[in-house]
Amino acid sequence: MSPAGATGALCTPACVTGPVPRVPRAELVRRYAALAYEIGLGVAQGERLAEPHALRVRARGILGALGVRVEEGPERLTVNGPWPSTVNGPRPGTLIVANHISWLDVVSLLAVEPVTVLAKREVGQWPVIGALARRAGSQFIDRDGLRQLPHAVADLASTLRSGRSVLVFPQATTWCSVPGGRFRRATFQAAADAGAPVRPVTIRYYQHGTRSTAAAFLGDETFGASLHRVARARGLTVRVTAHAPLHGSDRRELAAEAQAVVGAHEMPAHV
């Protein structure tokens, strides 16, 4: 991953700062033990892990093991409010689109509200994490396979029409800052085809009220190195802000508006 940032700067592991302050070694060991326990519970649940309650409990357990706190706004991720009179037929699910900073983003959003996750194919091949992702009902996409893209969009639209909500990261890769790269339009086409609402979501990380890049997962960094940095962080908080839903039939307009909303908003910092 070596994308150019919104300002033209390269977003690489050099953008990531170490967690300050850090937990003592004894607490780090305790966190790893707690994480292993939570992962073991997830493996033992098998296919039941895909059940919304089980998935939310396990996601919150993983965050708790790592000492990560979640702050969420009053809005749910799925859209359950008034439905446009122009939309006929069964109510579709919600396309939830968020900026992408870390592998921790998925865990954090599942802890807020379990939905189907659309992840890149490589995630499904990761040791342990990949198996858990598959059991949790995640769908996988080859982001570089242009020939398969129309089929992936059609499958996503079908999932939305069935009433299931889907979480996607339209930046396609991780960035150290919220604005990051341009939102790719393909998944927004699925929302337009299904008549589904789009829920923009902003994810930000803080340590004791100060913006933190400790959770960022960039470049050629290994998952283990990123996990170790997160586990060492004291007072790490992830803030999840769900914005007003978007409706439309033009994927370009939907993508541009969602990106503008995600990059422009954040919950006020707590000191």
160-208 residue pLDDT tens: 999 999 999 998 778 776 666 789 899 999 999 999 999 999 999 999 9
Q: Cβ–Cβ contacts within 10 Å for residue 142, how many? A: 13
- pLDDT for 220 equals 77
Please state, in angstroms and rounded to a whole number, the distance separating the CA atoms of residues 70 and 60: 9
pLDDT at 126 over 80: no
Mean pLDDT of 45-61: 90
> pTM (2 decimals)?
0.85
In the predicted model, is pLDDT for residue 72 greater than 50? Answer: yes
Which residue reads 């150019």 in tokens?
4
Q: What is the radius of gyration, based on Cα positions, of the chain?
A: 18
Residue pair 119/183 in contact (Cβ under 8 Å)? The answer is no
How many whole angstroms separate alpha carbon 171 and alpha carbon 235? 27
Average pLDDT over the chain reads 83
Average pLDDT of span 42-71: 92
Q: Does 4 score more than 50 pLDDT?
A: no
Range with lowest mean pLDDT among 20-24, 77-81, 156-160, 264-268: 264-268
